[in-house]
Structure 1
Amino acid sequence: MRTIRRILIGASVLLLAAVPLAACSDDDDSATTTTAAERSTTTATAGGGSGQDGEVITASGPVELGVGERVTIELEGNVTTGYSWTIDQQPDAAVVEVVSDRYVGPGDGAAAGQGGHQEVVLEGVAAGTTTLGMGYARPWEEGTPPVQTATFAITVR
């Protein structure tokens, strides 16, 4: 009788220890490696831009704008997974200015854990070319490459 009781207690302890560990697994779909171009887009332009003020860019590619014009880069993300977009390669400040860089959540009434997007607004400063590079990673996982990257070749005319 004591042996069965010990087995049941041991099994219960193992089960209780396994439940929290299962929540820490890395089965999250957002952790898979994809390129920005593989994501679906829901806004005006996928890829390069024509430099129209207020244009929204949703995937890696060339971006063209004039001096004083602004474009917005929006990349889907979900900070509730621990991943976030960061600028890994700053553009040349003499060519383009990063006006803002912020995470925009899904809004009121959204389901818990629902993602939003990173919004980076750029403004042309002077004619020239530069590159903006971004990575989607967990900031505390130093030395681990981003699970997604996005690169924008920027031309200011």
Structure 2
Amino acid sequence: MIARQPRRLLPFAFALLAACAQQPTSITLQQNQQSKCPLRMHPGQTLVLTLPSNPTTGYRWEVKDAAASVLRSLGPEVYSNPEDAGLVGSAGLSTWRFQATQPGDGHLLLVYKRPWEVGVAPAETFDCKVAVK
């Protein structure tokens, strides 16, 4: 009778593993995917945000609101130039990584502008509501 107990728990263990496997540990989002917002996340999930960028023009992405009530930054912006490596003045990608920390709602807002131009509207905006459940 005791030997049968682990067998009864086996289907439950498989169901639990399947439920965990269906939840991605990382979400990747790009500028043209703002339609995925509002974004639903679970605590512990990572958000990788990648936006086109060309700092040689003076434009930079500025984080206006990092949804700090529900997201934690995993480091500074990382700039890469994947297509034309070594070509001065070519565009690249800026990437940020965030981790969902606790349930709640937040707002992730970035603007693409020249920092010294005061009173000028941003050239681009990335605006995404984030819900952590």
Would the TM-score normalized by the shorter structure come out above 0.5?
yes
What is aligned with 1:131? Answer: 107
Give per-residue Cα distances to partners, 1:81-122, cap 9 Å, x unaligned.
11010111231x232112223141215844221111121111
CA contact (8 A) 1:103 1:116 kept: no
- Larger strand fraction of residues: 2
- Segments of structure 2 that go 5 or more residues without pairing to the other structure are 1-21
User: Using the alignment, how far apart are the partners of 2:40 and 2:23 within structure 1?
Assistant: 5
TM-score (norm 1): 0.61
1:115 aligns with 2:85: no
- Give the superposition deviation at 1:51: 6.7
User: Using the alignment, how far apart are the partners of 1:104 and 1:113 within structure 2?
Assistant: 13
Structure 1 residues 6-155: aligned runs within 5 Å: 52-59=24-31, 60=34, 61-91=37-67, 93-107=68-82, 109-155=85-131
RMSD of aligned residue pairs (Cα, Å): 2.0
- Name the % identity: 23
Task: Say if 1:149 and 1:51 are closer, same or farther in 2 by CA, change over 3 A.
Answer: farther
TM-score (norm 2): 0.71
Task: Say if 1:51 and 1:121 are closer, same or farther in 2 by CA, change over 3 A.
Answer: farther
- Segments of structure 1 that go 5 or more residues without pairing to the other structure are 1-49
What is aligned with 2:14? Answer: none
CA contact (8 A) 1:51 1:65 kept: no
Larger radius of gyration: 1
**Matched AA of 2:24:** Q
Aligned pair count reads 107
SS at match of 2:115: coil
SS at match of 1:129: strand
